[in-house]
Amino acid sequence: MSQSFSSFIPPSRVLMGPGPSDVYPQVLEALARPTIGHLDPKFVDLMDEVKQLLQFVFQTNNTLTMPISAPGSAGMESVFVNLVEPGDKVIVCQNGVFGGRMQENVLRCGGQAIMVQDKWGEPTDLNKVRETLQANLDVKALAFVHAETSTGVLNDAKALCQLAKEFDCLTIVDAVTSLGGSELKVDEWQIDAIYSGTQKCLSCVPGLSPVSFSDRAIEVIKQRKHRVQSWFLDMDLIMGYWGRGGKEGKSSKRAYHHTAPVNSIYALHESLLILHKEGLQNTHARHDRNHLSLKSGLEKLGLEFVVQKNYRLPQLNMVRIPDGVNDAEVRDRLLNEFNLEIGAGLGELAGKVWRIGLMGCSSSRKNVDYCVSSLEAVLD
Amino acid sequence: MSQSFSSFIPPSRVLMGPGPSDVYPQVLEALARPTIGHLDPKFVDLMDEVKQLLQFVFQTNNTLTMPISAPGSAGMESVFVNLVEPGDKVIVCQNGVFGGRMQENVLRCGGQAIMVQDKWGEPTDLNKVRETLQANLDVKALAFVHAETSTGVLNDAKALCQLAKEFDCLTIVDAVTSLGGSELKVDEWQIDAIYSGTQKCLSCVPGLSPVSFSDRAIEVIKQRKHRVQSWFLDMDLIMGYWGRGGKEGKSSKRAYHHTAPVNSIYALHESLLILHKEGLQNTHARHDRNHLSLKSGLEKLGLEFVVQKNYRLPQLNMVRIPDGVNDAEVRDRLLNEFNLEIGAGLGELAGKVWRIGLMGCSSSRKNVDYCVSSLEAVLD
């Protein structure tokens, strides 16, 4: 192999796409601390703290709360492969890309996905969900995306969970983009299984997926008739490593399952500390404030929001690309001349919209101003 | 939540267990560089370099060579879920923990695992494998562990692959502990699917799993009758993101599949650079040299190797715990007084052996001397 290689020095981008978001410098610092063993008592203590901090951000007492050692899409899969068995019916609400991915997961578990479709850019219609629940009284779970990253729509998680409980079915929630950016109350809303990602509003590096399962979900897993199809994502095995909580919790022996991504866990811990210190309400208020100031700036440039105000996400701003403007050219110039990343449209929205993220560390006055002034220069 | 939390400052351990190994300082430095987008053209270029460097360490031209965005056990699963369909027969050689995990994977794919069992601490018996192949002419694949981390045994990968080819079946190889520590020639030995981990002889942080699939394996995947049961590990989708190589290779558009663990990829790139610079032969020679000097030091302390010399791994040294010596107490003292981690026995070997790793960066004269002198002090 004659080619010569050299160390990779990344450019310093400003990350205002749909994720990853800018990572807090303290998080990068934590990431680079010396690796220790994944069964080292000091690491096990850290795992316990990460669990507690995740319980805080999820607003839950669920003992089964932890990061899956892989990105959000693996977190999604961990929920479906553990809860859905062949033949199970799951209602999946789709109003963007990620509802479709949930459907894929149900199908690959041998389940039946009953779809409730809504227009991309609009929220899931509660009436349709109620009708679908009424027409399918044997459904096992209702699955939906809390914050649709592909459109910037907030679905009404609280109301959807209430509906599901009325019909006595489990709730499965995608909180990849909502965790840390939108109000989210796992216990109060009675969410049974939820997953997120570290690279959005937590402003940690990508690669981990925090999940939480209610006691009811654990009971369902225990009653399974078929083995979980994934060994890597079998929650029963993962619990043996992350601890089962309760009486056998902190002091219980941890069984080796896989090697945890030790350094990424350092980083997650640090990002959760930052969120814990700021407080959830303050974090949400900051996301709202910066969203409003971005909105004001973008509207001055003549850019229009696609999503209606009452279900618009502050952390993911989807605006229409003006007629005659070349999508790729604008994004390329922003990236190359301004080191600024914004997101393209996904799926049916490709070429029609931009998605501007204001997530976690990226949700700052500085980023808002920089984004507006850079766009102004490029669109001029 | 009234508890107060603070940043986690890990102790500086010397990692001589079965992995993670000591991480190169340059790798930690690379890890902490600023995060960029997972579809950023600069990142896509980096992905291409990582592929090339992995082709180098695997000694292959396989275009489907890349890191799975999760630990080695997910890499293992990626191989099985893509290659094994319900009803498929796979011969699995077991002479330690990880052969058993392969069996689990086959079963969870709906396949039939035909086991070839050998004693833990001894290599897989080629005659038994031949007999099993002869008795099962319809097997799809032969699966085995190249370097058994649980025992320190090197299985004869070249001969096993040759046997499989004689019977025209696929070869699936676990190279978690062998990659970068033992001779490994994917193309020359005709390996069809192989997976490894980053936290062993590559001395990168844990969390990624380099994999490689031959063109023949890709053909088998293309001919599948059932969909791959994992969405996250579906190689067809992953290829869309990592690039398909060949004509549609470098310049092809990358489809979003999941968010790559960007910073971990920086780290992997740096660790591969180090290996590329040292050269595979030099790396192997260093592993052999340090193993011999550890062996000599341990034998002076009266410690005996369990595995015979001709199939003993230089990177994983399994020694018998002397009679009357308390396993846990010795390891605890090494950890607490010397900041030195060595490995316990797994499964049926628990309490009977120690596993001392000399992997990648950990394979150094300094570590050897420190380990011997620390053990001497504790056993005294």
Q: What Rg do the C-alpha atoms of chain A give, in angstroms?
A: 21
Same-domain check for residues A180 and A70: yes
Q: Percentage of chain A surpassing pLDDT 70?
A: 97
Average pLDDT over residues B343-350: 94
Non-local (6+) Cβ contacts of B39 within 8 A are B254, B256
The CATH number that applies at residue B245 is 3.40.640.10
Same-domain check for residues B239 and B334: no
Pick from B11, B33, B69: CB nearest A10: B33
The CATH number that applies at residue A295 is 3.90.1150.10
3-class DSSP assignment, residue B139? coil
Tens-digit pLDDT profile for residues A261-309 = 999 999 999 999 999 999 999 999 999 999 999 999 999 999 999 999 9
Distance, in Å, from the CA atom of B104 to the CA atom of B30, rounded to the nearest integer, reads 36
Q: Does A312 touch chain B (CB under 8 A)?
A: no
Q: Tell me the nearest-neighbour CA distance from A133 into chain B, angstroms.
A: 26
Q: Does B273 touch chain A (CB under 8 A)?
A: yes
B27 exposure class (CB count in 10 Å sphere: 0-12, 13-18, 19+): buried
Q: What is the pLDDT of residue B1?
A: 52
Q: What is the pLDDT of residue A245?
A: 57
Same-domain check for residues A203 and A322: no
Kindly identify which residue of chain B lies nearest to residue A36, measuring between CA atoms.
Answer: B13
Same-domain check for residues A264 and A318: no
Q: Which two tokens stand for residue B220?
A: 């088998």
Tens-digit pLDDT profile for residues A168-222 = 999 999 999 999 999 999 999 999 999 999 999 999 999 999 999 999 999 999 9
Same-domain check for residues B372 and B262: no
In-domain check, residue B75: yes
Do the Cβ atoms of B32 and A35 come within 8 Å? Answer: no
Average pLDDT over residues B324-330: 97
Buried b / exposed e across A77-100, counting CB within 10 Å, b at 16+?
Answer: bbbbbbbbbeebbbbbbbbbbbbb
Contacts of B38 in chain A (CB under 8 A): 20, 206
Do the Cβ atoms of A1 and B56 come within 8 Å? Answer: yes
Check: complex ipTM more than 0.90? yes
- End residue of a domain, out of A249, A276, A303: A276
Q: What is the pLDDT of residue B249?
A: 47
Tens-digit pLDDT profile for residues A339-372 = 999 999 998 899 999 999 999 999 999 999 999 9
3-class DSSP assignment, residue B50? helix
Q: What is the pLDDT of residue A241?
A: 87
Do the Cβ atoms of A107 and B6 come within 8 Å? Answer: no
Q: Tell me the nearest-neighbour CA distance from B67 into chain A, angstroms.
A: 12
- End residue of a domain, out of B220, B243, B276: B276
Tens-digit pLDDT profile for residues A216-251 = 999 999 999 999 999 999 999 998 888 865 444 444
In-domain check, residue A3: no
Same-domain check for residues A260 and A289: no
Tens-digit pLDDT profile for residues B276-318 = 999 999 999 999 999 999 999 999 999 999 999 999 999 999 9
Q: What is the pLDDT of residue A255?
A: 83
In-domain check, residue B349: yes
Domain that holds residue B312: 14-20+280-379
Closest CA relative to residue B71, chosen from B232, B199, B201: B199
Pick from B37, B232, B257: CB nearest A15: B37
Q: Is the pLDDT of residue B378 over 70?
A: yes
- State the average pLDDT for chain B: 96
Distance, in Å, from the CA atom of A215 to the CA atom of A202, rounded to the nearest integer, reads 25
Amino acid type, A342: I
| pLDDT band with cut points at 50, 70 and 90 for residue A254 | confident
Q: How many CA atoms lie within 13 A of A315 on its CB side?
A: 34
Q: Which two tokens stand for residue B47?
A: 């992905």
In-domain check, residue A9: no
In-domain check, residue A203: yes
- The answer to whether the predicted template modeling score (pTM) of the entire model surpasses 0.90 is yes
| pLDDT band with cut points at 50, 70 and 90 for residue B114 | very high
- End residue of a domain, out of A243, A276, A309: A276
Tens-digit pLDDT profile for residues B250-261 = 545 788 899 999
What is the total count of domains within chain A? 2
Q: Is the pLDDT of residue B136 over 80?
A: yes
Same-domain check for residues A257 and A313: no
In-domain check, residue A1: no
Q: Tell me the nearest-neighbour CA distance from B36 into chain A, angstroms.
A: 6
Average pLDDT over residues B218-228: 96
B333 exposure class (CB count in 10 Å sphere: 0-12, 13-18, 19+): middle
Average pLDDT over residues B331-353: 96
Same-domain check for residues B270 and B312: no
Tens-digit pLDDT profile for residues B16-50 = 999 999 999 999 999 999 999 999 999 999 999 99
In-domain check, residue B1: no
Same-domain check for residues B131 and B224: yes
Same-domain check for residues A207 and A173: yes
In-domain check, residue A129: yes
Q: Pairing relation of β-strands A353-357 and A316-320?
A: antiparallel
* CA A129 to chain centroid: 22
Same-domain check for residues A81 and A219: yes
Pick from B28, B49, B261: CB nearest A206: B261
Tens-digit pLDDT profile for residues A20-55 = 999 999 999 999 999 999 999 999 999 999 999 999
Same-domain check for residues B105 and B247: yes
